[in-house]
């Protein structure tokens, strides 16, 4: 167990590269397990050799991302406030933010579950489920809907624990939950005979175990004293949480929207293409989640040093983390280009799915060298409380840029246009993100007045 002093020392004083590794490696290791968490559903559903159930798992994923989007509003918003408050030595207020977040998760979970059950049929239609894919998609969504509060709570609390320097505890929660999901998937799908619904129940159960771990960490391992008194319902807290959380939630929400739009366009090319896109997306998430892990691990470093007005250290952390993300992305691009076919075959041996999936995966991975830079800039802006720039970037990658370009390229180039839309968008986004970060760092009054150390 890390002491309060050792956590603060990592945030404030450790050499930059060591601090990044200390904070990011546990998150990245957790993300590797999270990759398995995301991929295991597709892997075992693929073993059913039913293209409709494979397509249903892909169609249901955007709904899962909607839950992540709502959880992100609370988790990322709270984490940003927590790390800055710790940097400003306001630990009592940071504990109050944690307590408020618990209540917000419960309220949001109840509302989403109720609304989703009431509007289930329109949701299925919106996701693009029809004909033979409709029934399996319904079976997949129902357990996820019932477990909404659990899934959102697990996601949000993990982010918040990292904000106080508890990267190892966050990693352990991800690993524990993922192992439970991996073990239960084949049992519930095949032994219980629940099919694709068994995969969803395994996901909910894994999230429940992870959530229990995080609650135990807050009771026994946190450096903060969690408060549940009436004083936590302060307008200032709501403003600080939602001003940063909403841009992050929009990012996840637009990922869901873009996924729905992509699936509806891809459905015109058949169930095998839907299945191939689902497999390629899950495999490509290896790259994305590793780079997200690096960026997320750095977020407490950004927030703390901004709160402490240590401009030089913040700048050094940004430069080093961007270089690391570029190198890691380039390595992953090379690996996926050479081994794409074999990665797809691990999930399905249906010839048309393998052929389409290999092509789609190689196209998706073209963004690898720049995705990490985009994520680091977004996490930095969230951590230092820059709501508007963060909102612009959050809406750009999956909304303002992606959806219009997707429609144009689909009309002009068909399936190839759909596949290459995201790499084109990411090339535009990395330019936008770096220019925006440069402007913020030059004009921010807190950093402008800070003395270099």
Assign 3-class secondary structure to 52-64: HHHHHHHHHHHHH
> Do residues 41 and 117 make contact, with C-beta atoms less than 8 angstroms apart?
no
**CA nearest 259: which of 386, 371, 397?**
397
Contacts with 4 (C-beta within 8 Å, 6 or more apart), sequence order: 223
The total of other beta-carbon atoms located within 10 Å of residue 284's CB is 24
Contacts with 323 (C-beta within 8 Å, 6 or more apart), sequence order: none
Q: Does residue 31 register a pLDDT over 80?
A: no
Q: What single-letter DSSP state applies at residue 425?
A: H
pLDDT value of position 282: 80
Domain encompassing residue 195: 4-449
Interval 322-374: pLDDT, tens: 999 999 999 999 998 888 888 888 887 888 888 888 999 999 999 999 999 99
pLDDT value of position 3: 52
> Do residues 148 and 109 make contact, with C-beta atoms less than 8 angstroms apart?
yes
pLDDT value of position 142: 95
Lowest mean pLDDT among 104-108, 309-313, 432-436: 309-313
Question: Distances in Å between the alpha carbon of 353 and those of 49, 140, 174, 271?
Answer: 11, 21, 30, 9
Q: Which residue has the higher pLDDT, 207 or 246?
A: 207
d(CA 178, CA 170): 12
Across 46-56, average pLDDT: 78
> Do residues 177 and 213 make contact, with C-beta atoms less than 8 angstroms apart?
yes
pLDDT value of position 122: 93
3-state helix, strand, coil in the chain (%, to 5): 90, 0, 10
User: What percent of the chain has a predicted confidence (pLDDT) above 70?
Assistant: 94
In terms of phi and psi (left: phi > 0; alpha: psi -120 to 50; beta: otherwise), the region of 126 is alpha
Mean pLDDT of the chain: 85
Q: Does residue 52 register a pLDDT over 90?
A: no
d(CA 133, CA 383): 41
Structure tokens at 121: 């049929």
* Alpha helices (H) in 130-270, listed in sequence order: 134-146, 148-163, 167-186, 196-220, 235-266
Structure tokens at 73: 């509003």
pLDDT value of position 165: 76
Q: Which residue has the higher pLDDT, 80 or 426?
A: 426
Number of domains in the chain: 1
**CA nearest 240: which of 97, 429, 399, 393?**
97
Q: Does residue 196 register a pLDDT over 70?
A: yes
> Do residues 58 and 281 make contact, with C-beta atoms less than 8 angstroms apart?
yes
Q: What is the Cα 359 distance to its own chain's centre?
A: 25
135-155 in b/e burial notation, b at 16+ Cβ within 10 A? bbbbbbbbbbbebbbbbbbbb
d(CA 407, CA 354): 25
d(CA 337, CA 72): 32
Structure tokens at 55: 């397509």
Of the spans 33-37, 342-346, 448-452, which averages the highest pLDDT? 342-346
Confidence of residue 453 (pLDDT cuts 50, 70, 90): very low
Lowest mean pLDDT among 46-55, 101-110, 290-299: 46-55
Lowest mean pLDDT among 202-216, 246-260, 356-370: 246-260
3-class secondary-structure state, position 305: helix
Can you spell out the DSSP letters for 353-408? HHHHHHHHHHHHGGGHHHHHHHHHHHHHHHHTT-HHHHHHHHHIIIIITHHHHHHH
Structure tokens at 4: 């309060």
pLDDT value of position 5: 65
Confidence of residue 383 (pLDDT cuts 50, 70, 90): confident
Across 229-256, average pLDDT: 81
Q: Is the dihedral of CA 241, 242, 244, 247 positive or negative?
A: positive
pLDDT value of position 4: 58
Q: Does residue 452 register a pLDDT over 50?
A: no
d(CA 67, CA 81): 21
pLDDT value of position 285: 80
Q: What is the pTM of this model?
A: 0.69
Contacts with 109 (C-beta within 8 Å, 6 or more apart), sequence order: 148, 149, 150, 152, 153
Q: What single-letter DSSP state applies at residue 133?
A: G
**CA nearest 285: which of 41, 17, 50?**
41
**CA nearest 79: which of 389, 383, 386, 391?**
383
């Amino acid at each position: 167990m890390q002491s309060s002093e050792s956590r603060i020392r990592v945030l404030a004083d450790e050499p930059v590269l060591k601090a990044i590794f200390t904070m990011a490696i546990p998150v990245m290791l957790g993300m590797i397990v999270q990759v398995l968490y995301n991929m295991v559903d597709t892997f075992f559903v693929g073993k059913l050799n039913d293209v409709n159930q494979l397509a249903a798992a892909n169609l249901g994923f955007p709904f899962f991302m909607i839950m992540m989007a709502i959880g992100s509003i609370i988790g990322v918003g709270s984490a940003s406030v927590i790390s800055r408050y710790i940097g400003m030595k306001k630990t009592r207020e940071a504990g109050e933010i944690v307590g408020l977040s618990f209540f917000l998760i419960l309220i949001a979970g109840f509302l989403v579950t109720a609304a989703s059950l009431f509007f289930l049929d329109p949701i299925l239609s919106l996701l693009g489920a029809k004909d033979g894919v409709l029934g399996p998609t319904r079976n997949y969504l129902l357990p996820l809907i019932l477990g909404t509060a659990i899934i959102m709570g697990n996601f949000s609390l993990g982010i918040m624990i990292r904000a106080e320097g508890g990267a190892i505890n966050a990693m352990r929660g991800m690993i524990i939950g993922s192992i439970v999901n991996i073990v239960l998937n084949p049992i519930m799908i095949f032994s219980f005979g629940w099919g694709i619904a068994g995969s969803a129940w395994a996901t909910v159960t894994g999230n429940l175990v992870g959530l229990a771990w995080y609650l135990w960490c807050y009771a026994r391992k946190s450096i903060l004293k969690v408060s549940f008194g009436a004083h936590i319902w302060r307008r200032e807290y709501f403003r600080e949480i939602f001003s940063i959380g909403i841009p992050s939630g929009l990012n996840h929400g637009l990922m869901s929207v873009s996924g729905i739009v992509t699936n509806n366009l891809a459905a015109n090319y058949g169930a095998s293409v839907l299945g191939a896109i689902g497999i390629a997306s899950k495999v490509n998430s290896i790259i994305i989640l590793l780079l997200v892990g690096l960026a997320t691990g750095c977020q407490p470093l950004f927030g703390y040093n901004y709160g402490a007005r240590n401009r030089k250290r913040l700048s050094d952390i940004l430069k080093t983390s961007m270089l690391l993300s570029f190198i890691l992305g380039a390595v992953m691009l090379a690996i996926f280009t050479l081994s794409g076919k074999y990665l797809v075959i691990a999930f399905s041996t249906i010839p048309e799915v393998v052929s389409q999936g290999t092509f789609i995966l190689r196209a998706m991975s073209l963004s690898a060298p720049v995705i990490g830079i985009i994520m680091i800039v977004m996490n930095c802006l969230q951590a230092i409380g820059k709501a508007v720039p963060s909102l612009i970037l959050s809406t750009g990658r999956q909304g303002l840029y992606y959806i219009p370009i997707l429609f144009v390229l689909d009309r002009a180039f068909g399936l190839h246009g759909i596949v290459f839309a995201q790499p084109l968008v990411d090339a535009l986004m990395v330019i936008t993100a770096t220019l925006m970060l440069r402007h913020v760092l030059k004009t921010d009054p807190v950093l402008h007045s800070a003395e270099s150390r």
